[in-house]
């Protein structure tokens, strides 16, 4: 597979028709290769009803079940158990760092979109991490070595009480970023580090956060009904602008996860089929 392709606000968002990847192996292979290389692909022209992500799951193998169910509905809920289920702004984050093994890939299917607000934003976390490493190696070292406490307690698919420690930037043996684990909404009130390390940690986190939110790094777009955005949840941080709530639901996305193991397995099978080689 070709190397990662880094991007900022200049991202040319790759687009492929949903029907093509469902019924054409070459298109499906192109989708998964691009997902691995760029980290994000928009599938267009899906039906505007629930259940399309289940079909997508069958296409790659199977979806990842979590405490929010096999798929989950992102819409304004009166008794919201998650900040995503409100009309508020969502800051850049990766999903589910509270799990020991966070989902590798995320799918968001736009079923209904609000007229004003609700724009989506994405940032290439690996690109930003590289920038931070060059700009402030000490800050990079702190974020890639400090264990941060995450927690999530509630009831959805079933009741849950999760706790986990993650480094915000997970690195491999060469110090290269391999996974971003960052969701301020589920960071714990407990922060189990020595007192003298607290200020340097927050200074490093602020620098990382400022880079994430700088105009040169973030790409903004608005999902249309029938769009399915597919992205690398270990690499791409996502967020959204706030929107107005009315008496009825004005914005409805269905979400789902898959593991990279499943996606890479399908990619290898498709490569054999399409290119007739291993």
Q: 247 or 260: which carries more pLDDT confidence?
A: 260
128-170 pLDDT tens trace: 999 999 999 999 999 999 999 999 999 999 999 999 999 999 9
Buried b (16+ CB within 10 A) or exposed e, 136-156: beebbebbbebebbbebeeee
Question: What's residue 81's pLDDT?
Answer: 60
- Cα dist from 132 to 65, 137, 207, 251, whole Å: 34, 7, 8, 35
Tell me the sheet residues that pair with 150. 164, 187
Question: What's residue 114's pLDDT?
Answer: 81
What DSSP line would sit under the chain, residue for residue?
A: -PPP---STT----EEEHHHHHH-HHHHHHHHHHHHHTSEEEEE---SSTTHHHHHHHHHS-PBPBTTBSSEEES--TT-SSGGGSSS-EEEE-S-TTSSS--SEEEEEEEE--SSB--EEEEEHHHHHHHHHHH-HHHHHHHTT-EEEEEEEEESSSEEEEEEEEESEEE-TTS-EEEE---GGGB-S---S-GGGHHHHHHHHHHHHHHHTSTTTEEEE---TT-EEEEETTTEEEEE--B---SS---EEEEEEE-HHHHHHHHHHHHHHHHS--
Res 1 pLDDT > 60:
no
Question: What's residue 74's pLDDT?
Answer: 85
Question: What's residue 236's pLDDT?
Answer: 99
Question: What's residue 116's pLDDT?
Answer: 76
pLDDT bucket at 5, cuts 50 / 70 / 90: very high
In the chain, domain spans: 15-275
Mean model confidence pLDDT for the chain: 93
Q: 186 or 243: which carries more pLDDT confidence?
A: 186
Architecture of domain 15-275: 4-Layer Sandwich (3.60)
Question: What's residue 138's pLDDT?
Answer: 98
pLDDT average, residue stretch 202-216 = 98
Res 107 pLDDT > 70:
yes
Q: 78 or 32: which carries more pLDDT confidence?
A: 32
CB 131 within 8 A of CB 208: no
pLDDT bucket at 87, cuts 50 / 70 / 90: low
CB 94 within 8 A of CB 101: no
User: What's the sign of the alpha-carbon dihedral 171, 177, 179, 183?
Assistant: positive
Beta sheet of 218-221, edge-to-edge order = 90-93, 236-240, 120-124, 218-221
pLDDT bucket at 209, cuts 50 / 70 / 90: very high
112-131 pLDDT tens trace: 988 777 789 999 999 999 99
pLDDT bucket at 79, cuts 50 / 70 / 90: low
Res 240 pLDDT > 90:
no
Question: pLDDT above 70 covers what percent of the chain?
Answer: 92
pLDDT average, residue stretch 96-104 = 98
CA angle 108, 26, 62 (to 5 degrees): 45
Question: What's residue 133's pLDDT?
Answer: 98
d(CA 28, CA 270): 8
């Amino acid at each position: 597979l070709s190397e990662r392709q880094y991007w900022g606000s200049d991202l040319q968002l790759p687009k492929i028709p949903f029907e093509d990847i469902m019924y054409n192996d070459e298109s499906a292979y192109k989708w998964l290769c691009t997902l691995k290389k760029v980290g994000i692909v928009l599938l267009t022209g899906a039906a505007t009803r629930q259940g399309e992500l289940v079909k997508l799951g069958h296409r790659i193998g199977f979806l990842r079940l979590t405490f929010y169910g096999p798929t989950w509905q992102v819409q304004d809920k009166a008794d919201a158990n998650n900040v995503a289920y409100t009309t508020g702004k969502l800051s850049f984050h990766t999903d589910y760092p509270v799990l020991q093994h966070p989902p590798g890939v995320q799918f968001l299917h736009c079923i209904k979109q609000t007229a004003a607000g609700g724009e989506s934003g994405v940032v290439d976390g690996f690109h930003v991490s590289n920038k931070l490493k060059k700009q402030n190696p000490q800050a990079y070292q702190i974020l890639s070595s400090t264990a941060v406490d995450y927690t999530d307690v509630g009831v959805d698919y079933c009741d849950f009480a999760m706790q986990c420690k993650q480094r915000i930037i997970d690195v491999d043996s060469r110090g290269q970023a391999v996974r971003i684990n960052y969701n301020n909404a589920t960071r714990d009130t407990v922060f189990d580090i020595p007192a003298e390390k607290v200020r340097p940690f927050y200074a490093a986190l602020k620098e990382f956060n400022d880079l994430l939110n700088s105009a040169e790094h973030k790409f903004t777009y608005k999902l249309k009904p029938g769009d399915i955005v597919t992205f690398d949840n270990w690499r791409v941080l996502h967020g959204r602008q706030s929107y107005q709530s009315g008496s009825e639901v004005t914005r409805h996305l269905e979400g789902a996860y898959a593991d990279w193991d499943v996606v890479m397995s399908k990619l290898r099978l498709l490569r054999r089929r399409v290119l007739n080689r291993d």
